[in-house]
Amino acid sequence: MNDRGHPAPHKDYAGAKLGMWLFLYTEVLLFGGLFVLYAVYLQRYPQEFAAAAGQLNLVLGAANTVILLTGSLLVALSVSAIRHGSARLAQGFLWGGVVSGVLFLFNKYVEWSTEISHGIYPGSPILEQRAQGEIVFFGLYYITLGLHGLHVLIGAVILAVAAVMTARGSIQQDEFVVLENSGLYWHLVDLVWIFIFPLYYLLL
């Protein structure tokens, strides 16, 4: 019952969670396909892939790994906070997650700007002079990480929306499925990066 004595509208929380899991499954298929493609070409050009990976900025890649892991921790803490009735604390953790996404994208901007300035980008005359395996590596690199970066941006926006909804009372202790689903999306973004980092930055 709501404040006016009328029955409260039914909210299908189980359906909302199932819908999110199905959506995440399609995302896993998307990135999984890219990883399979990477594995196929890695088997064909192992030395060229290793040479190309050695040109990436390992420090920024490692920093972004720490940033995303921290962001996932903050998002998980936000769910725990709202469960315990602390909306203000949940908001703080969510904004922390947003900041982690912004920092990740900033680092990626710095990294890509440096690589592009050195002529390392698909279709560049400098890259076209290199071995075919290196050309394929950087093609997959920009596609995969570009797509992941887009997901980070979307995830940060979703977390910001969840923070605003929490501030307005739309997300509460007994009604936080939106926050849970937002967290699931962010954790997927983090999980995908956990695969990307060793495949592209730690290949020896």
Dihedral (CA of 5, 9, 10, 11) sign: negative
Residue 17 pLDDT: 76
Maximum Cα interatomic distance, the chain, rounded to a whole number of Å? 74
Q: Which residues of the chain have pLDDT under 70?
A: 1-12, 204
Residue 204 pLDDT: 66
Architecture of domain 13-201 in this structure: Up-down Bundle (1.20)
pTM, rounded to two decimals: 0.88
Amino acid identity at 184 = L
pLDDT digits 0-9 by tens, 44-93: 999 999 999 999 999 999 999 999 999 999 999 999 999 998 999 999 99
Average pLDDT, the chain: 91
Instruction: Provide the β-strand partners of residue 175.
Output: 172
Residue 176 pLDDT: 81
For residue 175, which phi and psi values (nearest 5 degrees)?
A: -155, 80
Residue 197 pLDDT: 97
CA dist 58 and 62 (Å) reads: 6
